Structure 1
Amino acid sequence: MEAKIRQHYKAEKANPPIHIYSYQYNGLTVYHESTPCCDQFTNLYNAAGQLLCHPEGGLTGRGDGKCADFSETRTEEKLVWQDPR
């Protein structure tokens, strides 16, 4: 996730600011990365930084459907990073 955070610092500040939370999901530690406004997919990564799915966003707001239960079953929310700019 450190590489993702460095990428965000190199980019223009998003509105709303990007944030990354960690959760427990299906027995794994995962990282949920927000996106800037409107119809963009959010990203869910495993601990190795590999993209698992897009739990939210897109035209329907429901993501790509590959982790449709994420919002209901995730636990142990922790803020990892939020763009302070």
Structure 2
Amino acid sequence: MEGLKKDPVSKPPAKVYQYQYEGRTVYYLPPACCDGMSTLMDDDCNVICSPDGGITGAGDAKCPEFFKKATNQKLIWEDSRK
């Protein structure tokens, strides 16, 4: 989140969601705009995949089942800067 705080303010505001997925805690960052891709990361901030976004809306196709299998969605941070 510290890195996101250094980026310019995006519209819509940047958000970070926490989920349980395949037995671990993961963090989902929605796409910032248009054809951008989302990012799914593990506890160590390693990128796992891009579940959605991009031109097709299907992300990078490395975790197409994410939204079906992920549970316990929790918004843990939202950029409040204007």
Q: Same fold (TM over 0.5)?
A: yes
Q: TM-score interval w.r.t. the shorter chain?
A: over 0.9
Q: Report SS of the residue matched to 1:72.
A: helix
Choose the corresponding residue for 1:31, options 27, 30, 38. Answer: 27
Which residue is equivalent to 2:6?
10
Question: Which runs of at least 4 in structure 1 moved beyond 6 Å after TM superposition?
Answer: none
> What are structure 1's unaligned runs of at least 5 residues?
none
- Offset at residue 12 of structure 1 (A): 1.1
How large is the RMSD of aligned CA atoms in angstroms?
0.8
Counterpart of 1:62?
Answer: 58
Structure 2 CA distance for aligned equivalents of residues 47 and 10 of structure 1? 20
Q: Which runs of 5+ in 2 are unaligned?
A: none
Number of residue equivalences: 81
Query: Could you state the TM-score of these two structures normalised by the residue count of structure 2?
Result: 0.94
Look up the SS of the partner of 1:65 in the other structure: coil
Match of 1:53 in 2: 49
- Per-residue CA deviation, residues 22-81 of structure 1 (Å, 9 max, x unaligned), is 000111110001231111110000111100000001110010111000011110111110
The separation in 2 between residues aligned to 1:52 and 1:7, in whole angstroms, is: 18
Higher helix share: 1
Identical-pair percentage:
40
Deviates more, 1:53-62 or 1:29-38: 29-38
Tell me, what secondary structure is at the counterpart of 1:8?
helix
- What TM-score, normalized by structure 1, do the two folds share? 0.90
CA distance in 2, matches of 1:9, 1:78: 19
